[in-house]
């Protein structure tokens, strides 16, 4: 029965090996208080504030994803400042690219969904959202950096901003009473409002929830697949699979760049659509 014992040992080793790889993948996807920079583990400050009134501990710790959001914001501020510090009638170089994207957001996303006045007014908000999400998405493709938008807390925060903007501009355009009156269609039989009104109120929350989950799931899934393909070489313990693993990982990486642009566009487009529907419920 020696071969049975050997098989059991190999199975146990393989199971432990696979658990180690799984933990490795989760470690690189999840948020952390340590930033691995060129082999050095930089411990980020952990800050916890206790609210005395309700005796609740508020976690304000700086994590890797928090750091990535700061880097994305700082990068955008520097890029726009350097590109437009000299006023020109026709921007050239990278400034022309930034202007073209901003005009696309205004003419193809903001104005069609929110009208001429509302679209122009909210173009800075939507353009900021687009550039921030795009930058955060792409940063995850750079070694030493992480994908902040692969964190549900980050995408949920962005969705909450859209939710608040939807309610504020909806009430600003139609008035507080008018906005809530337009929540359900007019002219329906009275008993139907018992069903329609709760559904519409629930819809106010399901829309931003879908925004948060879509961006989070797409960004997290891509990096998970890339890491799984690369660790497949270690899991199988052979270099024969290396060309396939590396080739597929490279293909998925290129696809991830496209997904980064698409997800930034979809989040911005749906945000504009939701705000426009609140401002003009009859359309």
266 part of a folded domain:
yes
- Do 130 and 224 have their domain in common? yes
Q: What would the pLDDT profile of 54-76 be if each residue is shown by its tens digit?
A: 677 777 888 889 999 999 999 99
Quickly tell me which residue has 């355009």 as its tokens. 173
- Do 18 and 86 have their domain in common? no
Q: What would the pLDDT profile of 185-201 be if each residue is shown by its tens digit?
A: 777 787 787 888 888 88
Q: What is the pLDDT of residue 261?
A: 94
Structural domain total, the chain: 2
> From residue 2, how far is each of 7, 10, 13, 193, 197 by CA, in Å?
9, 13, 17, 74, 70
Region of 38 on the Ramachandran plot (φ > 0 left; ψ -120 to 50 alpha; else beta): left
9 or 78, higher pLDDT: 78
Percent of the chain residues past pLDDT 70, beyond the cut = 88
SS (H, E, C) 52-63: CCCCEEEECCCC
58 part of a folded domain:
no
- Do 129 and 5 have their domain in common? no
- Do 129 and 247 have their domain in common? yes
- Do 147 and 245 have their domain in common? yes
Q: What is the pLDDT of residue 25?
A: 65
* Residue 96 structural domain: 64-279
- Do 99 and 208 have their domain in common? yes
- Do 139 and 19 have their domain in common? no
Mean pLDDT of the chain: 83
190 or 121, higher pLDDT: 121
- Do 109 and 173 have their domain in common? yes
80 part of a folded domain:
yes
- Do 26 and 117 have their domain in common? no
**Which residues fall within 8 angstroms of residue 56, CB to CB, at 6 or more apart?**
50
Q: What is the pLDDT of residue 87?
A: 77
- Do 205 and 110 have their domain in common? yes
On the question of pLDDT at 155 being above 50, the answer is yes
- Do 100 and 231 have their domain in common? yes
- Do 3 and 119 have their domain in common? no
């Amino acid at each position: 029965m020696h071969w049975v014992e050997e098989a059991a040992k190999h199975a146990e080793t393989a199971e432990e090996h696979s658990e180690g790889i799984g933990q490795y993948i989760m470690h690189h996807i999840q948020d952390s208080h340590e930033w691995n920079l060129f082999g050095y583990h930089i411990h980020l400050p952990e800050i916890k504030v206790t609210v005395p009134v309700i005796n609740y501990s508020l976690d304000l710790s700086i994590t890797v994803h928090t750091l990535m959001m700061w880097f994305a914001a700082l990068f955008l501020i520097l890029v726009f400042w350097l590109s437009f510090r000299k006023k020109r009638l026709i921007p050239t170089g990278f400034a022309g690219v930034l202007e073209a994207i901003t005009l696309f957001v205004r003419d193809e996303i903001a104005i069609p969904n929110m009208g001429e006045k509302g679209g122009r007014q909210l173009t800075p908000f939507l353009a900021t959202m687009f550039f921030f999400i795009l930058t955060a998405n792409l940063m995850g493709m750079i070694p030493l950096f992480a994908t902040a938008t692969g964190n549900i807390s980050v995408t949920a925060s962005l969705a909450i901003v859209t939710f608040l903007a939807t309610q504020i501009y909806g009430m600003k355009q139609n008035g507080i009473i008018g906005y809530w009156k337009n929540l359900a269609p007019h002219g329906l039989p009275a008993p139907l409002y018992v069903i329609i009104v709760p559904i519409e109120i629930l819809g106010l929350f399901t829309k931003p929830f879908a925004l948060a989950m879509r961006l989070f799931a797409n960004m997290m899934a891509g990096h998970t697949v890339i890491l799984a393909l690369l660790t497949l070489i270690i899991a199988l313990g052979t270099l024969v699979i290396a060309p396939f693993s590396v080739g597929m990982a490279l293909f998925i990486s290129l696809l991830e760049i496209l997904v980064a642009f698409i997800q930034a566009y979809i989040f911005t487009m749906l945000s504009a659509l939701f705000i426009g529907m609140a401002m003009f419920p009859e359309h």
